[in-house]
Amino acid sequence: MKRFVKSDEAVAAIREGGKLLGEILEKIGAAVRVGATALQMDELAQHLIRDCGGRPSFLGYSIGPRYPAYPAALCVSVNDEVVHGIPKASTVFADGDIVGLDIGMEWPFKKGTTGFYTDTAMSVGVGQVSERDQKLMDRTRAALFAGIAAARGGADIRDVSRAIEGSLTPFGYGIVEDLVGHGVGYGVHEDPQVPNYVYRGAPSIPLVPQMVLALEPMVNHGGRAVVTDRDHWTIKTADGSRSAHFEHTIIITTAGAEIVTLRPRET
């Protein structure tokens, strides 16, 4: 039994939607500068997503009846915010900040049909970033790519987890464990989970061609512990240290993994 495998039609739409989403995230990243606000980034995200025939999949997303629906198209997480920061006009980017941008899209969005979901994120520096923070971002991105390099038909989710964790081990960072990568495509979040670390009893889940996964290491200067803000969404580091986050949606193939959300200027 092949679990978590997407149809040919889904894979084709995820490939196209992911390419568009990578282009969109690159444009938003280029708009991050001193004095810009998180709300402006969200307005840009909403505009670019609708312009290419998609729907912002995070907007109105709910993780349960006791939680408020997510109110934006984009997550903007600054400095000690790890993920799921809600964009606000009062969040004004300052020199040296590190800003996580996370975006999701359902595409195509047409009456009478349901589209397919992709998810991608990156951290960017504002103005002049400290060498220490730049290294955190570079190494988190490298961890994502180490995970991608380990992802191919015949490998196991545990190989991906081990590759991500292993690439970060030399640096002594805190790898966030409370949030994980995930299946994606028919919805915002699907099984299987893709932890960014190895643990005793982690289930063996073989990777099979046409599985679609979102890999997304979240990495802190300090400890791995995180706390949820009173807004019920924003996740911050418990110790106040800064955090970085990179994410791509990938399609598993026999030869490796295809990065569908690769940005035009990313290599």
Contact predicate 98/127, CB 8 Å: no
Shortest Cβ 179–Co ion spacing (Å) = 9
Residues in region 230-259 near Co ion by CB under 5 A = 247
* Residues near Co ion (CB under 5 A), total: 6
> Which C-beta is closer to ligand MF3: that of 32 or that of 45?
45
Q: How far is the CB of 111 from Co ion (least distance, A)?
A: 26
Nearest to Co ion of 117, 173 (CB atom): 117
CB 173 within 8 A of CB 136: yes
> 42 touches which of ligand MF3, Co ion, none (CB within 5 to 8 A by kind)?
none
Q: How far is the CB of 2 from Co ion (least distance, A)?
A: 23
Output the six-digit token pair for 56: 């912002």
Residue 165 or 247 having the CB closest to Co ion: 247
Tokens 């997303």, residue?
61
Residues annotated in the binding site for substrate, as ranges? 84, 189
**Interface pattern 112-151 for Co ion (x via CB under 5 A):** -------x-x------------------------------
Site residues for ligand MF3 per CB under 6 A: 58, 61, 70, 75, 84, 102, 104, 119, 189, 214, 216, 233, 247
Of residues 61 and 96, the one with the C-beta less far from Co ion: 61
Q: Which does residue 107 touch among ligand MF3, Co ion, none (CB within 5 to 8 A, set by kind)?
A: none
Q: Residue 102, interface with Co ion (CB under 5 A)?
A: yes
For position 214 contacting Co ion by CB under 5 A, the verdict is yes
Annotated binding site: 84, 102, 119, 182, 189, 216, 247
Please state the residue numbers annotated as binding site for a divalent metal cation: 102, 119, 182, 216, 247
- Can you spell out the DSSP letters for the chain? --TTBPPHHHHHHHHHHHHHHHHHHHHHHHH--TT-BHHHHHHHHHHHHHHTT-EESSTT--S-TTSPPP--SEEEEETTEEE-PPP-TT-B--TT-EEEEEEEEEES--TTS--EEEEEEEEEE-SS--HHHHHHHHHHHHHHHHHHHT-STT-BHHHHHHHHHHHHGGGTPEEP-SS-EEE-SSSSSEEEEE-SS--TTPPP-B--TTBEEEE--EEESS-S-EEE-TTSS-EEETT---EEE-BEEEEE-SSSEEETT--TT--
Q: Which residues bind Co ion (CB under 5 A)?
A: 102, 119, 121, 214, 216, 247
